[in-house]
Amino acid sequence: MTTTPASRALPNRVNRTLMLLLKIAIIGTLLLTLASEVLSSTPGERPPIVSWVSWVQLAVSLFVIGVYVFYRPGRKRWIAAASIASLVTTGFDMLYEQGVRGVGTAELLALGLLMLFSVRHWDASPGRWVAFANGAAVMLIGFRVFAQDFASAAIGGSVMIFMAMMTMIGFGAYLRSLDRLRRETQEEVRQAERLELAREMHDFVAHHVTGMVVLAQAAQVTNTDPKQAFADIEEAGLAALTSMRRMVKMLRNDDGGAGTNPLGDLAQIEDLVERFNREGTDATCFISPELAGSSVAPEIAATAHRIVREALTNVRKHARGATRVRVVVAAASGNGLEVSVRDDGRAARGRLAESGAGMGLLGLGERIEAVGGQLRAQTRPEGGWETAAWLPRAAPEAR
């Protein structure tokens, strides 16, 4: 059905577990590499542990590994600190000849992983220069690692370091492009929802203004108390203003489009289900009789209509083998109503399942929150999927 976070809870938990195990394996590899580097040596060579300079390099390596372990998006200042510390340590090693192989392989690997974050969060504080400092630290650390090797080995090792660094830069740039694409897609969905709300504003306000006109006309031809007539007109006018304010607060740009969409209501939900039923799926609809008439505000009815439309679309796109769909619009506690769409299908796989990525419910959730409601989408214990929302019958006052 849909690919919302709630409906994809199990795959997300599996992914998080795998990523956690991968990070633990990387950290373990870095620490083992650091330990073996400090303690091991070739025949006729002293181990790095005998030099106090190597202890400084060990401390810096542990600091760089710690930055990788505790790094969170946007905390590039720590990457900058790790890169500067590595550069200073490398410069100190070049000036002070200690006569043993330097410590830096684990630090090199950790800096390479931090390079991915430097590029992915390119524009984060303190700036883009962090990536260049990180790259310099990666390349210059070869003076420590290859100081005791032959010139050919040092050149070959430096080339390998450069190629590995370029790979991390490319992967980081790829992840950065994915992040930007997702942000742009979310913004497009929100903008489309705001434009649709702007178009529907005409219908909502027209509904209330028409009621005001009817009240004024009735007062002219009947013996209605003028105070009562003015009170009714005032109430209708305040409702129109409330409806307009509620939608205007969600808009950020002017709508240059023309035309209006038809105003959906509870009665049109039955038409949606009937059309869906004709497409081959056993779909039924129940609307509580006590919700008929004027007990539900127009914008609430339109939101309920939108919920059913979006849920049925998701059933058609994402629910494999769905044979039954049940749509229920019933009275709920707290002077509200609950709209639910349940099916017995299985989650689709492949490109079709990923085509929406939950973007449809992103805009729907924004609309539901605007009228004071709550949305949930989740698996059903007996199988299938459920999209449901609680809505107030009377839309809350917009402030």
Position 13 scores a pLDDT of 77
Position 84 scores a pLDDT of 93
Structural domain that includes position 105: 15-148
Position 85 scores a pLDDT of 92
In a domain, residue 5? The reply is no
Write down which residue in 103, 132, 148 finishes a domain: 148
In a domain, residue 305? The reply is yes
Position 81 scores a pLDDT of 92
Position 312 scores a pLDDT of 86
- C-alpha distances in Å from residue 113, one per residue of 62, 130, 165, 305, 326: 14, 14, 9, 49, 50
In a domain, residue 332? The reply is yes
In a domain, residue 251? The reply is no
Position 259 scores a pLDDT of 35
Position 162 scores a pLDDT of 85
C-alpha torsion angle, residues 206, 207, 213, 219 (rounded to 10): -170
CATH code (residue 287)? 3.30.565.10
Position 132 scores a pLDDT of 92
In a domain, residue 80? The reply is yes
The tally of domains found in the chain comes to 2
In a domain, residue 306? The reply is yes
Pick from 367, 55, 62, 39: which is nearest to 195 by CA? 367
Write down which residue in 115, 131, 148 finishes a domain: 148
In a domain, residue 23? The reply is yes
Dihedrals phi, psi of 119, to nearest 5 degrees: -80, -40
Q: What is the pTM of this model?
A: 0.53
C-alpha torsion angle, residues 93, 95, 100, 104 (rounded to 10): 20
Write down which residue in 102, 126, 148 finishes a domain: 148
Over the chain (399 residues), what is each successive 10-residue block's mean pLDDT?
44 80 91 86 73 84 92 86 90 72 84 90 86 89 68 69 88 89 78 68 63 71 72 72 62 40 68 78 85 74 86 80 86 86 72 46 77 85 86 67
Position 372 scores a pLDDT of 83
In a domain, residue 178? The reply is no
